[in-house]
Structure 1
Amino acid sequence: MPLRIAVQMDPLETINIAGDSSFALMLAAQARGHSMFHYDVHSLSYDTSEGAGGRLTAWAAPVTVKSVPGDHFARDEYRLIDLAVDVDVVLMRQDPPFDLGYITGTHLLERLAGTTLVVNDPVSVRNAPEKVFVLDYARFMPPTFIARRLEDVRRFHAAHPGELVVKPLHGNGGKAVFRIPEDGSNLGALTELFGQVWPEPFMVQPFLPSVSEGDKRIVLVDGEFAGAINRKPGEGEFRSNLAVGGSAEAARLTVREEEICAALGPELKARGLVFVGIDVIGGQWLTEINVTSPTGIVAIDRFNGTDTGAKIWEAIERRHAAM
């Protein structure tokens, strides 16, 4: 049955269709006969003046998409739509930062429970930020420390001598990830900077030399393995994110990675996290569980000849039919 879908994402004008996972999902939805609206999270509004409950609306435009660079979408006039009445599925795909604006959006979308399916589930997205949810699986992680005081970080460094990596707790795309030399010479200045820029603590881990072999992005759909790519750092870089110049290559899972997927899968499915990307370094170290706006399916499908977008929509269709 065709579904009416509202895609909550960044402006269509700004995306790179060659690698954008949200655009790939829109193409896959359209190929399955579904119709789509596009809207910006900033246009959400909630009105209780009509009596019991409330009315969640957005200024949205009907859209169609095509794989033509520079002419990749057509948009009709914006209109006010009721997300509980006018659509069947909300696809929450706007990029982080995972800030109070993002969190408030999940609180509003949560109010659609029982009427409109939201993917990924907004409650689970709010309660499972990338670098916090992963702490539930510390047995698969490298030694990890979350703090904001320099004295505490130095204590961790003393226990794990060598180079460190420091990163924002709610960052994305490899932004503001720093490599600290073995002597910790710039640790004080960096701790001060993080404390001034971000209100939350930051994450510290030993630098893993195996990152030179790649940082694998593994995609799970409704808890099941759907594909993987290995992302290798560009020249002069230690970060392997494609957004900062990393390159992708085909990949298979190691035994350890299969174990990680098997451990995570049931919990992801139970939480309504339909499209998830996990990051594993050196075939063994789990570093993130990406649930807000996971990427990687375009490269995975290019290397493997798969259609991950179709798998995701099959899972969404099953969930909608079971409502």
Structure 2
Amino acid sequence: KALFMRKDPPVDQAYLHTTYLLDIAEKSNVKVLNKPSSIRSWNEKISILQFDTLIPKTLVTANPGIVKQFFKDHGDIILKPLDGMGGKNIFRVSEFEKNLNVILEIMTNHGHQMIMAQQYIPEIKLGDKRIVIIEGKPFPYALARIPMQGETRGNLASGGQGVAQALSKRDMEIATIVGKKLLSEGLHFVGIDVIGDYLTEINVTSPTGIVELF
């Protein structure tokens, strides 16, 4: 018997309650994909920090002042909520941004909610690559999600155009390292996002891209 867990984020209380029930199913010899406890453990944004040599300059904090210093150091950054999907509520902040204070007030709930800040990767113009990994092995083609003109986000839900691309040597390197680790954690079917030479996200809940690639 097997059960394929595939529910979109957010990983809220209802989602967590479902994974607790699936923990019990596992104890009754039901094969659950992906492992419920690992879905809980591998936050789709924060988990990239376990691969610090593969990611761009990245910060997780609820402190607006620390984010402002990160912006001062890097000049062009991306701000993301930790529980979003589909490109929702993602902001690019460049040197001409006049609303950083307001953006941070809203995103951090006045310093009470953590967010992620990442150095902007110019290669996003060539596509945000979704790489599907099955049983620790990357599928040889990625779905490159290319942003609309004037957009920063490549997500299909944000209007990006999906184009199949063969994995580069660097793509394969990243996917192999990440895939091996995730498989050891009981995560059999996952998606990772790569921009340029950098890992930017790990999707363990409901990876997209299979339909578009086939």
Return the TM-score normalized by structure 1. Answer: 0.63
Moved over 2 A (4+): 195-200
**Separation in 2, partners of 1:105, 1:97:** 13
Q: Cα RMSD over matched residues?
A: 1.6
Indicate the residue corresponding to 1:140 in structure 2.
54
For 1:106, what is the secondary structure of its paired residue? Answer: helix
Alignment of 1:24-173 (within 5 A): 88-114=1-27, 115-160=29-74, 162-173=75-86
Residue type of the alignment partner of 1:181: S
Q: Which residue among 191, 196, 201 is the counterpart of 2:104?
A: 191
Closer, same or farther: CA 243–198 of 1 in aligned 2, 3 Å:
farther
Match of 2:186 in 1: 272
Q: Contact (CA 8 Å) 1:169, 1:200: kept in 2 or not?
A: no
Q: Report percent identity of matched pairs.
A: 42
Instruction: State the one-letter code of the partner of 2:169.
Output: V
Q: Of 161, 182, 203, which residue of structure 1 is paired with 2:95?
A: 182
Whether the 8 Å contact between 2:56 and 2:118 is mirrored in structure 1 is: yes
1:206 to 109, 119, 130: 119
Name the counterpart of 2:203.
Answer: 290
User: Does structure 2 retain, via aligned residues, the 8 Å contact 1:223–1:269?
Assistant: yes
What stretches of structure 1 of length at least 5 have no aligned partner?
A: 1-87, 302-323
For 1:241, the equivalent position in structure 2 comes to 155
User: Which one-letter code corresponds to 1:292 in the other structure?
Assistant: T
Query: Does the 8 Å contact 1:98/1:171 carry over to 2?
Result: no
The answer to whether the Cα contact below 8 Å between 2:62 and 2:111 also exists between their aligned partners in 1 is no
**What is the rounded CA distance, in whole Å, between the counterparts of 1:261 and 1:208 in structure 2?**
19
Q: Is this contact kept in 2: 1:222–1:272, CA < 8 A?
A: no
**TM-score normalised according to structure 2 size:** 0.93
Structure 2 CA distance, aligned partners of 1:198 and 1:123?
29
- Supply the distance in 1 between the matched residues of 2:31 and 2:100 (Cα, whole angstroms): 45
Q: Tell me by how many angstroms 1:181 deviates.
A: 2.2
Q: Which has the larger radius of gyration?
A: 1
Residue 166 of structure 2: SS of its match in structure 1? Answer: coil
Q: 1:263 aligns with which of 177, 187, 199?
A: 177
